[in-house]
Structure 1
Amino acid sequence: MPRRSVMFTPGDRPEMLRKAPSAGADVIVFDLEDAVAPDSKAEAREEVREVLADPDFAPDCEVCVRVNPTGITADDDLRGVLGNGDQARDAAETLDSVMLPKTEDPADAETLADLLDERDAEVPILALVETAGGILSAENIAEVPEVDALVFGAEDLAADLGATRTDEGTEVLHAREHVVLSASAGGVDAIDTVYTDIEDTEGLREETAFAIELGYDGKMAIHPAQVAPINESFTPAPERVEWAEKILDAKEAADAEGRGVFRVDGEMIDAPLIAQAERVLEYAEAAGEN
């Protein structure tokens, strides 16, 4: 399933956790890191576990938990959410993925994978790269088998670099491009950074369109109101869907004839364009357009 929109919800707000699926995001992230004050971490773990274990909580989207950076706190997070007991076991069945913030190198992701394995939680890792070290190691991080996506964090990166954030984003553009290249090389999803002005819908649409041009598969959201504009931006236009359907129909005929290259409306079609067509239809299906 595509990860067009990845929406964060504070882990210590149970009423918001339960309402999160109604926003329509492809991925909802129960946040135990930045959105939760240090003194509230233990309470947040309990709240997240209770919501995940509730049999009435059955969202039609990917459910992710953002733990704290690898180390003692991340272990505490997993123990709190996926510890012993029937409730924790039920929570584990609802959990679809785990996000690791401030992933600096492959060892960080491997450590989290080991912690998940200790708790028999076979879920993928979304590795958030948001430091200079993480950006430079992005390609190697993407090669860790348990990593299923690279997530670009521009705000933390700018703070790490001492850079000044601008509307144009040129100060993080190289890193933004490096992440999507690394994700593509590793065969994992690339999720773009947040847009911090929740009232600027037009600006969000423009930045999401640019992320799509760069090759990103989805974008993070920090408010439910951002989900629809992001999803709409990733929804292929009808003519694009028609193009993809023609290509895959022609591919089926070409396969039957043993041809690897074929022509559609005067355009020569090979493996890269076939992959593009498949991606277009996947996103159209997610949007209910096909």
Structure 2
Amino acid sequence: MARRSLLFSPGDRPELMRKAPGAGADVICFDLEDAVAPDRKAEARESVRAVLTDPDFAPDAEVCVRLTAAEPAADLDALVGAGKDADSDADLRLDAVMLPKVGSADRVEEAAALCADRGLDPAVFALVETAAGVLSAESIAAAAATDALVFGAEDLAADVGATRTDEGTEVLYAREHVVLAAGAAGVDAIDTVFTDFSDADGLREEAGFALTLGYDGKLAIHPAQVDPINAAFTPDPEEVEWAERVLDARDAAEREGRAVFQVDGEMIDAPLIAQAERIVERAPAGDRPGTDRDKNRSGRHS
């Protein structure tokens, strides 16, 4: 599935959570961590559960909850209705959980175990936003439960004492390291937030740069950011048509036992096939001409 955009929505604002799918993000993430004051955590947990168990809440987007770093077990207990007054029989719409400040693969495995103990099997998004997390990005990405790495530049800068700049050179190494770790493990990489939600041009430029680095999508903190992010990570129709021709030619060559083939006068090798697969995967379903071919990535978590 495409994860071009991930929109955060505060967990203590049920009216905003219910509106979030209308923004058009591929992933909506109800936040129990940074967006909620400590004295409102219990209220936020109840609000998130109420939305996720509402039969009328059935968005097309992937639904994620960002757990708290300090009390993930309490978050999950509230979501599944483990409290004495909760209705534990209600169906819970929870596709993924996001873990903040992941510094090691153990954190991912521990969270996955907490979910399994409560009868849940969500995808795990590991938020890499500390020095320890960046240095352990390879093992975090390779953890069995990890489905995506998420880069957090703001918290990383605070962690190491860096000064944030418009150019972003102070976090560039970490940003590249995270996407390399995700690529090596075959999991998605989601880029950091662009904090000025009033600067659409700056967001487009930054999202375009993230795409050139190899990121699959980008975080959004305001609904107005979703369309520019989706546009940046959506290939042009001409790219999709080229990719379809490459994959059709690959399939024909495999049927005929040929290892070498060409498209539009260009010899096609493995890197170009991988590029074509990536383009088709990022294309919206309505823009995908051609066949019902399996378009999953070659990574482990397809």
Does the 8 Å contact 1:49/1:91 carry over to 2? no
Q: Tell me the TM-score normalized by structure 2.
A: 0.92
Q: What is residue 64 of structure 1 aligned with on the other side?
A: 64
Q: What is residue 78 of structure 2 aligned with on the other side?
A: 80
Per the TM alignment, residue 268 of structure 1 is displaced from its structure 2 partner at its CA by 1.5
RMSD of equivalent CA atoms: 1.3
Per the TM alignment, residue 2 of structure 1 is displaced from its structure 2 partner at its CA by 0.8
Per the TM alignment, residue 178 of structure 1 is displaced from its structure 2 partner at its CA by 0.1
Q: Tell me the TM-score normalized by structure 1.
A: 0.96
Greater shift in the superposed pair: 158-167 or 247-256: 247-256
Asked whether 1:199 is paired with 2:184, we answer no
Per the TM alignment, residue 87 of structure 1 is displaced from its structure 2 partner at its CA by 4.2
Q: What is residue 264 of structure 1 aligned with on the other side?
A: 263
What amino acid sits opposite 1:165 in the alignment? R
Higher helix share: 1
Corresponding residue SS for 1:2: coil
Gaps of 5+ in 1: none
Alignment partners' CA distance in 2, 1:194 and 1:280:
23
Q: What is residue 112 of structure 1 aligned with on the other side?
A: 111
Corresponding residue SS for 2:119: coil
Alignment partners' CA distance in 2, 1:149 and 1:129:
10
Corresponding residue SS for 1:103: coil
Alignment partners' CA distance in 2, 1:234 and 1:89:
39
Over 3 Å counting, the alpha-carbon distance change for 1:198 and 1:91 in structure 2 is: farther
Does the 8 Å contact 2:129/2:153 carry over to 1? yes
Q: What is residue 6 of structure 2 aligned with on the other side?
A: 6
Counterpart mapping for 1:209-220 below 5 A: 209-220=208-219
Does the 8 Å contact 2:234/2:284 carry over to 1? no
Counterpart mapping for 1:98-177 below 5 A: 98-177=97-176
Does the 8 Å contact 1:50/1:91 carry over to 2? no
Corresponding residue SS for 1:120: coil
Counterpart mapping for 1:222-233 below 5 A: 222-233=221-232
Alignment partners' CA distance in 2, 1:231 and 1:132:
29
Q: What is residue 15 of structure 1 aligned with on the other side?
A: 15
Per the TM alignment, residue 88 of structure 1 is displaced from its structure 2 partner at its CA by 4.3
What amino acid sits opposite 1:241 in the alignment? V
Q: What is residue 43 of structure 1 aligned with on the other side?
A: 43
Per the TM alignment, residue 83 of structure 1 is displaced from its structure 2 partner at its CA by 3.0
Does the 8 Å contact 1:49/1:87 carry over to 2? no
Over 3 Å counting, the alpha-carbon distance change for 1:123 and 1:171 in structure 2 is: same
Does the 8 Å contact 1:53/1:87 carry over to 2? no
Gaps of 5+ in 2: 289-302
Q: What is residue 178 of structure 1 aligned with on the other side?
A: 177
Over 3 Å counting, the alpha-carbon distance change for 1:28 and 1:91 in structure 2 is: farther
Corresponding residue SS for 1:90: coil
What whole-Å deviation, never above 9, does each CA across 1:183-220 have from its counterpart, x for those lacking one? 00111000000000000000000000000000000000
Q: What is residue 90 of structure 2 aligned with on the other side?
A: 90
Does the 8 Å contact 1:82/1:88 carry over to 2? yes
Alignment partners' CA distance in 2, 1:44 and 1:259:
58
What amino acid sits opposite 2:53 in the alignment? A
What amino acid sits opposite 1:82 in the alignment? V
Percent of pairs with identical residues: 66
Per the TM alignment, residue 261 of structure 1 is displaced from its structure 2 partner at its CA by 2.6
Does the 8 Å contact 1:124/1:146 carry over to 2? yes
